[in-house]
Amino acid sequence: MKTIDSLGDLAGKKVLVRSDLNVPLDGTTITDDGRVRASVPTIEKLLAAGAAVIVTAHLGRPKGEPEAKYSLAPAAARLAELLGKPVTLADDLVGPSAKAVTDALEPGQVAMLENVRFDARETSKVDEERQALAAELAAFADAFVSDGFGVVHRKQASVYDVAQVLPAAAGTLVEKEVVSLGKAVTDPARPYAVVLGGSKVSDKLGVIANLLTKADRLLIGGGMVFTFLAAKGYEVGTSLLEADQIDTVKGYLKTAEENGVEIVLPTDIVAADKFAADADALVVAADAIPADRMGLDIGPDSAALFASKLADAKTIVWNGPMGVFEMEAFAAGTKAVAQAMIDSDGFSVVGGGDSAAAVRLLGFDEAGFGHISTGGGASLELLEGKVLPGLAVLED
């Protein structure tokens, strides 16, 4: 993979950087600035090399046209604070404002283009449309640095196509992600344990299938666990359930047994009468969830069981919270897994946007983990063993 050094002398050059600034917002307040912070080292490295930096990024899911609530303004302001220098945000992506702002940019200065998903061509399935946008973005700069790890699994104009127009290289974040996740993907130290949770099984099917050939232990919690419990024939009440995945999950349970992969399911569940912070919550056995209750966390026995299954692991990958950690009453399972990872001597990786946010929101020290990935889908696809388009274009 090409790195920034391969771009040669950058003094006086303009470098377009694709960052991942897709931060959670409460109105215009950033509730977790992890991704903005993770984007700083590459930008600082380029500035130190004498370049001017033009940042392009997306925020949220606008529908291919400008929408005020998805403006990158909060991210630009936070980035400016972290860099200790102004970040000039253009009003548009490739329009007159972007042209004026990038034309005026001097070495050592930073500009940001408005949300790249305000232009429908960014995510178009039509190659020519993406390429047209990529050419307009490329016109602002002399080189391209791909640093938005969270989007490298996307074949999008600002990720994939622009890298084919300008001299391109991976930023330091993408480099670090690939090296760290690579440790888990190729030849992991054993026992290799994977903890999966979060809300949707269907999102994570590919990775589960792949892990059934690689991992020694698979611990399942979060919303996805109810499809597993249902596959075992248990009542899951009003919990999250993907009924159309039950047969697939049955297949996984069988494959796991054949391959000698230990699947660890919760033995108890925190079952609530409604999806609310002040819900009435009961701890029940995993095979005895009342029909009118929903499971919102793994129970205390399960948390202890999961921790014991992680204690001697040499590689731990965790993707997806064990419960609705955003509500204090349902955060204990997620906390237990995070703590077990910190306590383990093994190499631990946190993948998944919400899992990484959980680590920070629940007050854990990020230094206690081997690596906290900034990319949910991208880290999963790497774990699945897929070729990621945004990484493939950065190969020498």
Contact footprint for Mg ion (CB under 5 A): 353-354
Minimum Å gap between C-beta 324 and Mg ion is 13
Cβ(197)–Cβ(351) under 8 Å?
no
| 319: contact with ligand ADP by CB under 6 A | yes
Decide if residue 321 touches ligand ADP (CB under 6 A).
yes
Phi/psi of residue 262, nearest 5 degrees: -85, 120
Distances (CA, A) of 243 to 211, 228, 233, 305, 364: 22, 10, 12, 27, 35
Residue span binding ligand ADP (CB under 6 A) among the ranges 103-111, 195-203, 230-238, 339-347: 195-203
- Contacts to ligand ADP from residues 349-388, by CB under 6 A: 352-355, 376
Helix (H) or strand (E) holding 135: helix 127-138
Find the part of the chain contacting ligand ADP (CB under 6 A) among 94-102, 192-200, 260-268, 336-344: 192-200
Identify which of residues 198 and 390 has a Cβ nearer to ligand ADP in the complex.
Answer: 198
Q: What is the DSSP string of 221-264?
A: -STTHHHHHHHTT---TTS---GGGHHHHHHHHHHHHHHTPEEE
The count of other CB atoms within 10 Å of the CB of residue 315 is 22
- In the list ligand ADP, Mg ion, none, the entry touching 296 (Cβ below 5 to 8 angstroms by class) is ligand ADP
Considering CB distances under 5 to 8 angstroms, the limit depending on partner class, which of ligand ADP, Mg ion, none binds residue 119?
none
Report the first-to-last Cα separation within the chain, whole angstroms. 6
Looking at 35, 117, 204, 217, which residue is catalytic? 35
Of ligand ADP, Mg ion, none, which one sits near residue 321, judging by CB under 5 to 8 A according to partner kind? ligand ADP
Residues 277/282/286/289 CA torsion (nearest 10 deg): -90
Using CB under 6 A as the binding rule, whether residue 43 contacts ligand ADP is answered as: no
Q: Are 71 and 116 in contact (CB under 8 A)?
A: no
Give the nearest residue (CB) to Mg ion: 354
Is 45 labeled as catalytic in the residue annotation? Answer: no
Nearer to Mg ion (CB atom), residue 60 or residue 300 = 60
Buried b (16+ CB within 10 A) or exposed e, 152-181: bbbbbbbbbbbbebbbbbbbbbbbbbbebb
Task: Kindly indicate which of the ranges 62-70, 247-255, 348-356, 388-396 contains the residues binding ligand ADP, using the contact rule CB under 6 A.
Answer: 348-356
Q: Report the alpha-carbon distance of residue 392 to residue 390 in Å, rounded.
A: 6
Tokens at 287, concatenated: 């095979």
* Shortest spacing between CB 377 and Mg ion, in angstroms: 9
101 makes contact with ligand ADP (CB under 6 A) = no
Closest CA to 19 of 71, 75, 63, 61: 75
Report, in angstroms and rounded to the nearest whole number, the Rg of the chain calculated over CA atoms: 22
Residue 324 is a binding residue for ligand ADP (CB under 6 A): yes
Binding mask 236-265 for ligand ADP (x = CB under 6 A): ----x-------------------------
Catalytic residue among 353, 375, 376, 390: 353
Name the binder of 237 from Mg ion, ligand ADP, none, CB < 5-8 A by kind. none
Site membership for ligand ADP, residue 23 (CB under 6 A): no
Closest CA to 269 of 253, 293, 246: 293
Task: Answer yes or no whether residue 62 interacts with ligand ADP by CB under 6 A.
Answer: no
Number of residues interacting with ligand ADP: please give it, by CB under 6 A: 20
Q: Would residue 63 show up in a list of annotated catalytic residues for this protein?
A: no
d(CA 344, CA 311): 5
Asked whether position 295 contacts ligand ADP by CB under 6 A, the answer is: yes
Residue of 95, 368, 370, 377 marked catalytic: 377
Kindly tell me which of 143 and 194 has the beta carbon lying closer to ligand ADP. 194
Is position 35 annotated as part of the catalytic site? yes
Contact segment (CB under 6 A) with ligand ADP among 17-25, 58-66, 196-204, 382-390 equals 196-204
Q: How many residues does the chain have?
A: 396
Distance from C-alpha of 356 to C-alpha of 352, rounded to nearest angstrom:
6
| Residues forming the site for ligand ADP (CB under 6 A) | 197-200, 222-223, 240, 295-296, 319-321, 323-324, 326, 352-355, 376
Residues with a catalytic annotation lie at 35, 200, 353, 377
